[in-house]
A and B are shown apart, each in its own frame.
Chain A
């Protein structure tokens, strides 16, 4: 159990800490906040979706717990539920991006 609390335990004195482990995590967090600030949903609505996502993992842990995976999934579900973005549309776009010539990404 002791190694379950691994991670940066060293207390930073300012914002010297890496907030996101990968740039996409920052983008997803930024999107969720920006859409909320634009009035597309309330933070409570997003939080409820996030709690559902996390509760699902807590009940049936599947693989390593990766917070921002749940965060992104919660955002996708909320947008789908509000009729703003269909899952299928997202799948198609992701497929297109995957088919890009390698090295295009930056």
Chain B
């Protein structure tokens, strides 16, 4: 059995002290982890996107007030900060970042991937979004404008990718299966 890392030991020390001091319940920690492992994640966002692709009225509501539109689903939105959904079009491509830390639309995407939290992404996406997108394999026409949205404690952003041409012929469920997490951050097209 390998030696636990210094960080693992420190985390264990922290948790044991907080429990002894009556500040923390270990079951509450388990509950948070389970919540993010099983109940929230990109599949929630994918369902939102799929519905917006199929239903123009829902899309209008979603773009007008993302937080309110989420109430039409049975997601656990108790921790939802204000959600703003930004739409990709032939003229504009949107990209989401949190330059200061790692704010992220948890309710619809779960926890952020590692690269989202890395200094390279946080700093470069604002300076050279086109180059960063190219590294993700996204080449946009030159005339397409790129808008970078910096998340904050108050506002979280999610991208509504462009609908596939056959959206009208597919079920919401089929469409949801085709929406990637990365597309909802803006570093992929679908």
Q: Contact residues of A with B, CB < 8 Å?
A: 1-2, 4-9, 11-15, 17, 19, 21-31, 33-35, 37-38, 40, 43-44, 47, 50-51, 54-55, 57-58, 61, 65, 67-69, 72, 75-76, 79, 84-85, 89-90, 93-94, 96-98, 102-103, 105-106
Contacts and interface: CB of A to CB of B under 8 A. Distances in A.
Contact of B132 (A5, A28, A84): A5
B44 to A, nearest CB: 10
Contact of B13 (A54, A75, A94): A94
If over half of B's interface residues share one DSSP class (helix, strand or loop), that class is named, otherwise mixed; here it is helix
Interface residues of B, number: 60
Contacts of A40: 23
B17 A90 contact: yes
23 contacts: A4-B124, A5-B115, A5-B132, A11-B180, A13-B177, A14-B43, A15-B43, A19-B36, A19-B111, A24-B5, A24-B10, A26-B33, A34-B28, A37-B28, A51-B100, A51-B101, A54-B101, A72-B7, A85-B14, A94-B10, A97-B13, A102-B1, A103-B1
Contact of B43 (A6, A13, A85): A13
B24 A38 contact: yes
Interface of B: 1, 3-18, 21, 23-25, 28-33, 36-38, 41-43, 46, 100-103, 110-111, 113-115, 117-121, 123-124, 132, 135-136, 153, 177, 180-183, 188
Contacts of B21: 84-85
